Amino acid sequence: MKSVKVSGVVIAENNMGDYDKMLTILTPNLGKISCSAKGARRPKSQLMSGSQLMCFGEYMLFKGSDTYTLNSCEIIELFYNIRTDLEKLTYAMYVTKIVSDVTTENQNSFNTLKLYLNTLYMISETEKDLDFIISVFKLRILKILGFAPNTRECVGCKTKENIRYFSIRDNGFKCKECAKNDTSAIEISDATQNAIKYIMGADPKKIFSFELSDNGYKELELIAKVYLNEKLEKEYTLEKLK
């Protein structure tokens, strides 16, 4: 076996036997990797903290013929505030589920990992509306996955005038005329249009740095929800923890 050092976040954990765990870690260059953490559930194990869900750290692994084994971990961030707030935890697990679904092994996941960490930070360390954070995350992850909507012009007639709708079916903005026969078109304000443009083009560390009116938040939330479910062909719902 050889040693491999990776940075990453634990996006899944499952108990094995009496004291062991099987982890899934999202890394920037290797995508998702599975590794066993032997003895991680023992009370005095040095792997206990580093093998928790949503722990971000530097992991030293032994690579076998077809599996990894966790040897040690240097914790970078545990996102403590998420672990002590049930609502924050609910939203963080929702994001984690999406990230797990859209990543695979042997995949460059640098941009996805960066977005995931930024989103966890916003949930953990700020008081921004959690639905707003989730909406921004959804639209940005769709861009990373290759589903960036056309925000430059009407996707129907190519005009830049009288843009009033977002077409789920045709992946972008539409003018009032072209939206007439599009049942998937959602009417949106100028502010929401500008917000979507910002999310698509902003620096990764600044994508959450804008405000909207209450109505704008609702429009953004609706578009992000429907667009994500449509493109990933799956219905994602928040499951409240008890």
Question: For residue range 140-179, what is the model confidence (pLDDT) as tens digits?
Answer: 999 999 999 999 999 999 999 999 999 999 999 999 999 9
Assess contact for 195 and 136: CB atoms under 8 A.
no
Q: How far is Cα 145 from Cα 169, in angstroms, rounded to an integer?
A: 17
Per-residue confidence (pLDDT) for residue 238, from 0 to 100:
84
- Assess whether pLDDT exceeds 60 at residue 130: yes
d(CA 10, CA 29): 15
The DSSP code sequence of 191-216 is HHHHHHHHHHHS-GGGTT-----HHH
Length of the chain: 242
Beta bridge partners of 77: 56
Q: State the average pLDDT for the chain.
A: 95
CATH number 3.40.50.300 is the correct assignment for the domain at 2-79: no
Place of tokens 């078109």: 185
Query: At 17, phi and psi to the nearest 5?
Result: 60, -150
- pLDDT value for 240: 63
Higher pLDDT, 66 or 47: 47
Query: Is 0.85 topped by the overall pTM?
Result: yes
Taking the CA of residue 230 as centre, how many other CA atoms within 13 Å lie in the half-sphere pointing to its CB?
16
**What per-residue confidence (pLDDT) applies to 66?**
78
Q: Which two tokens stand for residue 150?
A: 């056309």
Residue 242 reports pLDDT greater than 60: no
What is residue 1's predicted lDDT score, i.e. its pLDDT?
Answer: 61
pLDDT at 20 over 60: yes
Portions of the chain given CATH number 2.40.50.140? 2-79
Inform me whether the pLDDT recorded for 241 exceeds 90: no
Q: According to the model, what pLDDT value does residue 65 have? A: 77
Give residue 236's pLDDT.
94
Give dist(CA 2, CA 68) in Å, integer: 10
- Tens digits of per-residue pLDDT, 70-103? 999 999 999 999 999 999 999 999 999 999 999 9
50 exposed, middle or buried (CB, 10 Å; 0-12, 13-18, 19+)? buried
